[in-house]
Amino acid sequence: MTEKKGNKKKSIIPVVLLVIFAGIAIFSLIKIIGINKEYEDSEKEYQSIAKDAVITIEDFDKQAGKKEEESLPYLIVNHSKLYHKNEDYLAWIRVQDTEINYPLVFGVDNEKYLKRSFEGNWSSSGCIFMDCRNTWDFSDFHTIVYGHSMLDHSMFFALQRYPRSDYFYSHNKVEIYQGKKLYVYTAFSFFKTEADGELYFSLTETDQQKADFISFLKRNSYYDTGIDVSTSDKILTLSTCVESEGLDRWVLCCKLTEVVDLDKYYQ
């Protein structure tokens, strides 16, 4: 009798384990489906925003009957429409031929838009946002812009490709559309750092502090671009996580190299 009971217990164990593993598999599947749905909803929201408020100058000129070869490869952004959707709207950011093509916001702190979309919905994708310590008009010596690196390649995922030199040099222009002007920044440094690293907390008040900061950015860069950066330049850094967990960050550091007046397209 004792042996039979023992055999019965042994036969139950595999069934229990099978049920547990099946439960874990089902839970994981539901989780994955939920995440994919969330990614899809978030991307639809941002695509809808872009479709509603942004037009390329090529399309604008075509509608006006202008020859395509005379058109500029830039955008016309309806800033007032975006501001009415969200009063924290600041500018539009784009890196051509990448997924980076989003509204940029400026929150009261650096937590508000970590898990909140542009339209205020909960979203793990969050929003592209400027560091709350910066000045809204990009007039600081160093401005930091944050974005998540999403598995569906949205937001700032493109920064994951910059360790490839060919990608870095072919996607080294960051466009910021604010008001009736386009500010073009050229990348001169790219590297991996930590969330509590020197890049985020360096003092840049005096010329010497600025010079030291520039040296730090160039010294740590994966690439020697040969681009001259001075203490009178304006530096823009794009920052994203290297992995979903952990303190490592990819940073793309750029300097303002051109300001394009788009006033005639807003008249």
Residue 221: inside a domain: yes
The confidence band for 62, taking pLDDT boundaries of 50, 70 and 90, is confident
Output the pLDDT for position 267.
Answer: 76
Output the pLDDT for position 68.
Answer: 55
Amino acid 30 reads: I
Half-sphere exposure of 248 (CA within 13 A, CB side): 9
- Its pTM stands at 0.85
Mean pLDDT over 123-132 rounds to 96
On the question of pLDDT at 252 being above 90, the answer is: yes
**Domain count along the chain:** 1
Residue 132: inside a domain: yes
Residue 26: inside a domain: no
Strands (E), 35-150: 54-56, 75-77, 89-94, 101-105, 128-130, 142-146
Residue 199: inside a domain: yes
Distance separating alpha carbons of residues 217 and 31, to the nearest angstrom: 40
Residue 61: inside a domain: no
**Radius of gyration of the CA atoms of the chain, in A:** 24
Full domain range(s) for residue 222: 78-266
Distance separating alpha carbons of residues 184 and 187, to the nearest angstrom: 10
Residue 62: inside a domain: no
Residue 38: inside a domain: no
pLDDT digits (tens, 9 = 90+) for 5-53: 556 555 666 655 555 555 454 444 444 444 556 667 778 999 999 999 9
Half-sphere exposure of 147 (CA within 13 A, CB side): 28
Output the pLDDT for position 38.
Answer: 65
**Tokens, residue 239:** 């920052």
**In this structure, are residues 46 and 102 in contact, taking their beta carbons and an 8 Å threshold?**
yes
Output the pLDDT for position 251.
Answer: 98
CATH number, domain of 93, equals 2.40.260.10
Output the pLDDT for position 40.
Answer: 77
Output the pLDDT for position 15.
Answer: 57
Output the pLDDT for position 61.
Answer: 77
Nearest residue to 157 via CA among 146, 149, 165, 169: 149
Residue 54: inside a domain: no
Distance separating alpha carbons of residues 171 and 90, to the nearest angstrom: 23
The phi and psi torsions of 102 (rounded to 5 degrees) equal -140, 160
